[in-house]
Amino acid sequence: MSTTPATPSPPGPVAVPVPVAAHSITAPPATAQRELHALYRRVPHLGDYGSMTAIEERWILPKARAYEASAPRFGSAGELLQALKEFLAEEEAALPESATFLAERATLDQFKLVVRQFALDGLTESESLLPVVPRLPYRSAMAVFRVLIDELGCGNEEKAHSQLYRDLLTELDLSLRLDDYLDETTPECFAYVNMFHWLASRAPSPQYFLGAYAYFETSVLYAFQSYARAARRLGIVHDAYYTEHLYIDSYHSGHMRTAIRSLEEPDLAKIWAGVRLASDIVGAANEAAVARARGTAA
């Protein structure tokens, strides 16, 4: 056996990442998204796993892989977080017209329709995220868990975000039963809910979750402004679901940055893919909800 060291091959050309154009993720038909939502809500049997995988392979996995493959060559977590900051600033500066419509012109009936579209999420907020904690390294997991404690009201039922949504629904004379919203929820809003299940429990790596939730906890600081303004303009008393997010998520975004920095071996491409996935899916859901309200309410 030769002990002569092999001559190293010359380094190949550094690939220049191809930017992914801004676009909305196309959700599967409503029946598939509704089926996936039902599968995520129960203890799956062997056949259920096959069904979940088939839907995920058509829907979210191809986009996750595409964003991962085209992610910039970040040299460190700090570089990624700086890019996230810039991405969020660009998004905030280019908020869609639907945000202005909701804040300034939506009627009470139109606002109620938007609230209904997100009821599947609001009534169960953050419950689906808990499985991600044991999937993460300890220090990163503790930073995420600190966020989830707040989401669940720190043990105070009245302060849990899902209870704040129930208070809003009650004031608007809307149902508190999850099943009452299944028939009317758009595919995009089903996808919004299903994304969180996938990120926490089904994604191949929990690092997708870290990117997505770091994006989400910061983007809410501007995305919920239109909801809070609409609620105030329409005289809605129980607007704490929106105003609480405008307050607490500044704190949460810091914890999510800590969760990323705490990783000893971060997969920066997966984290960035999570950022882009969340931006696409959340944006598509908001657009679909407002469009449904504009098209069906006077």
Q: What are the backbone angles phi and psi of residue 208, rounded to the nearest 5°?
A: -60, -45
Where do runs of H (alpha helix) occur along the chain?
30-40, 46-58, 60-69, 77-93, 97-104, 108-117, 119-122, 138-151, 161-171, 187-197, 207-223, 225-233, 240-261, 268-296
**Residue among 248, 236, 117 nearest 170 (CA):** 236
Environment class of residue 266 by beta-carbon count within 10 Å: exposed (0-12), middle (13-18) or buried (19+)?
buried
Environment class of residue 59 by beta-carbon count within 10 Å: exposed (0-12), middle (13-18) or buried (19+)?
buried
231 contacts 165 by C-beta, under 8 angstroms: no
Splitting the chain (298 residues) into consecutive groups of 10 residues, what average pLDDT does each group show? Answer: 40 36 49 95 94 96 97 97 97 96 97 98 94 97 94 82 96 98 96 98 98 95 94 97 76 91 97 98 97 79
Enter the DSSP assignment of 96. Answer: -
**What is the model's pTM?**
0.88
Environment class of residue 154 by beta-carbon count within 10 Å: exposed (0-12), middle (13-18) or buried (19+)?
exposed
The pLDDT of residue 249: 57
| Token pair listed for 222 | 């501007």
257 contacts 168 by C-beta, under 8 angstroms: no
The pLDDT of residue 250: 67
Q: What are the backbone angles phi and psi of residue 135, rounded to the nearest 5°?
A: -85, -15
The pLDDT of residue 247: 65
The pLDDT of residue 29: 66
241 contacts 164 by C-beta, under 8 angstroms: yes
